[in-house]
Chains A and B, each alone.
Chain A
Amino acid sequence: MPSLEVLQTEIRSAIVSGHLALAARAIDGDGLAPDRRLAIHRHHFLHTLVEALGVTYPVTRRLLGDGAFTAAAEGFIQMSPPDGPCLFEYGREFAAYLAAHPTMEALAYLGDVCRFEWAINRAYHAPDGDAPPPPDTSARRSGELIAAVAPHVGLVESPYPIAAIWTAHQEDPVPEVDLDQGGCRLAVFRRRLDVLWRPLGPGEAALLAALRAERPLALAFARALDAEPGFDPSSALAAFAGEGLVLGFHLSKPFEEPSP
């Protein structure tokens, strides 16, 4: 008799790979081939995870069509099965998987729409976040000032009008989208129960990207000015704070200045 750990390892391998004979020795077929019984669990594994990805990526599914989406999703699931039981956290790498998929080249914007949908999903499920306590700027304490960006805030950039594509695909029939209108930089975030997005200029996008990466404020401002000469980072930061994208500030590394 294999240990429970060995048995469960064999069944997990069989279900993920589809090689059901790997675990058949442990199953009493009861009139059916044992692998037919395991096939019920293999089907459940693939079907429910395809559906979960379809909930996170509804427009990606619509763009691909059910058949192609299911085929791509099943490939992804077998390569990257979930590592935890919260399915709203599953599928972050799906856009990268699609981008590497040779049959996806016909829809150049598909990967970017997919990343946009991940940002929407993230904004929906992420907590509001807490404002950090005001930084202690008293004597003998110094460090770089860093913005606390709300955990629901995402940033998506694309050479295609992905928000327009996404919005068009909420309708039936889908209205035509003018792809020549150009690309976009989008802040995706949540206000109370609503997921929102708004277009950003190049300076705003560079600033938000640097803040999300927890770069010191001075460096984030420099990045924004590099991206858009003449940009006013102070006003942009005030706007982010007013919209709830930035919750407050903290000091990077609490170290004591040497006593004189």
Chain B
Amino acid sequence: MSAQIVPGGLAARAGIGLRAPHVADALASPPPVGWYEVHIENYLGGGVPLRQLESARRDRPVALHGVGSSLAGAEPPDPRHLARIRALARAIEPAIVSEHLAWSVSSGVYLNDLLPVPYTEEALELCARNVWIFQENLGRPILLENPSTYLRYVDSAIPEGEFLAALARRTGCGILLDVNNLYVSYRNTGAEPEAVLTALAGTNVGEIHVAGHAVNDADGHAALIDDHGSEVAAEVWQLYARAVRLFPNAATLVEWDTNLPSLTALAAEARRADRRRSLALNGEDRDALS
């Protein structure tokens, strides 16, 4: 697999996750953002959504972001699903293809969630097999995203960052570093963001996600939920600045999935990311964050 996973130039301007309620507005008047990322599983039918995505692709580079291949599943990915993804990638010629370090399928049931996997040698073997199958199917390397977690398994033995770095070494995949997930996992399970970032230093981090999260109460404990339903939190912007300095060539994407703002407001959040990135690369972000 080639080391070039993300095209040069994509990092210059942040992109946005393009969601169905914004598609008509985006096609009528493309917002001032660098690129779009869409969820693969919404475009595998071939009808109106695919036609619209083909139109959007003429305006901006498009990244395909998978949420349903269950690459951290004990079962190998579904070959029918892989064939549909391959056909979509041929039609769209995406700038990036990415998936999650998560599972969602067991015995033919799809749980519509991104469930964490225990970090064990067995899981590492199976995830590496699945990422390998996924990449072979596409004929290109992908980016794999670190999960947001709400629980830890008693059997987890490998730190998350080392698990991801080992997967990258074994499969040639790059990393999609979601700094909101880093923060959510830290607050929910105590996984130190700095340890993950340090472990990922030798990997190919091609993309950074920023997003908002919700803070819920669970029996007196704060449970952070990765709902992508608000502006990016200050703590997450700080992690973003740190990540940008470590991985200056990574492209940035703003995700927003629930309580969607207007497309204009979403594009403004992407411009905010551009300013944060620029300040971080110039070593000026500490003032900006105060």
B133 within 8 A of A: no
Prevailing SS type, chain A contact patch: helix
State in angstroms the CA–CA spacing of A1 and B153 once bound together: 11
**Residue picked from B115, B120, B221, most chain A C-beta under 10 Å:** B115
Q: Are A82 and B47 in contact (CB under 8 A)?
A: no
B interface size (C-beta, 8 A): 51
| Cβ–Cβ contact A16 & B109, under 8 A | yes
Q: Give every chain B residue within 8 A of A1 (Cβ-Cβ).
A: 120, 155
Instruction: Judge whether B107 is part of the interface by a CB distance below 8 angstroms.
Output: yes
Given A3-B74, A84-B81, A125-B45, decide whether A12 and B111 contact each other with a Cβ distance below 8 A. yes
> Are the CB atoms of B154 and A41 closer together than 8 Å?
no
Complex CA gap A127/B190 in Å reads 46
Give residues of chain B (29-74) contacting chain A, Cβ–Cβ below 8 Å.
41-42, 44-52, 67-70, 73-74
Across-interface contacts of B106 in A (CB, < 8 A): 8-9, 11-12
Which of A52, A193, A195 meets B112, CB within 8 Å?
A52
Q: Which residues of A contact B83 (CB under 8 A)?
A: none
In angstroms, Cα B119 to Cα A26, docked, is: 12
Pick the contact of A8: B67, B74, B120, B218 (CB < 8 A). Answer: B74
Complex alpha-carbon distance, A5 and B122, angstroms: 10
- B186 close to A (CB within 8 Å): no
Decide yes or no: A27 and B154 within 8 Å by CB, A4-B123, A82-B110 being known contacts: yes
Report A178-231 residues with CB < 8 Å from chain B CB.
190, 192-193, 195
Nearest A-chain residue to B190, judged by Cβ: A30
- Bound-complex Cα distance A83 to B78 (A): 11
Instruction: Select B218's contact among A5, A32, A45, A86, beta carbons within 8 Å.
Output: A32
A37 CA to B224 CA, complexed, in Å: 11
- CB nearest neighbor in A for B75: A5
A97 CB to closest chain B CB (Å) equals 17
What residues of A have a CB within 8 angstroms of the CB of B221 in the complex? 31-32
Point out which of A4, A12, A86, A89 has the most chain B C-beta atoms below 10 A from its C-beta. Answer: A4
Q: Is the CB of B189 within 8 A of A30?
A: yes
Contact of A26 among B45, B122, B153 (CB under 8 A): B153
Determine whether the beta carbon of A49 is less than 8 Å from that of B112.
yes
Knowing A4-B74, A9-B106, A40-B150, say if A82 contacts B46 (CB, 8 Å): no
Given contacts A8-B106, A27-B152, A40-B225, whether A86 and B45 have CB atoms under 8 Å apart is yes
- Contact partner of A86 among B44, B103, B108, CB < 8 A? B44
- Given A4-B117, A12-B106: A48 and B45 interface contact (C-beta under 8 Å): no
Beta-carbon contact of B120 and A37 below 8 Å: no
9 A-B residue pairs with CB within 8 Å:
A4-B126, A7-B74, A12-B106, A15-B111, A27-B153, A28-B152, A32-B218, A52-B112, A190-B47
> Which of B's residues lie within 8 Å of A, judged by CB?
41-42, 44-52, 67-70, 73-75, 78, 81, 103-113, 115, 117-118, 120, 122-123, 126, 150-155, 189-190, 218-219, 221, 223, 225
Counting from the closest, the 8 A-B pairs by CB-CB distance are: A85-B68, A127-B46, A125-B45, A5-B74, A12-B106, A37-B151, A4-B74, A82-B110
Name 14 extra pairs, CB < 8 A, besides A40-B150, A127-B46.
A4-B122, A8-B73, A15-B111, A26-B118, A32-B218, A33-B219, A44-B113, A85-B104, A85-B105, A86-B44, A127-B45, A128-B47, A192-B51, A193-B48
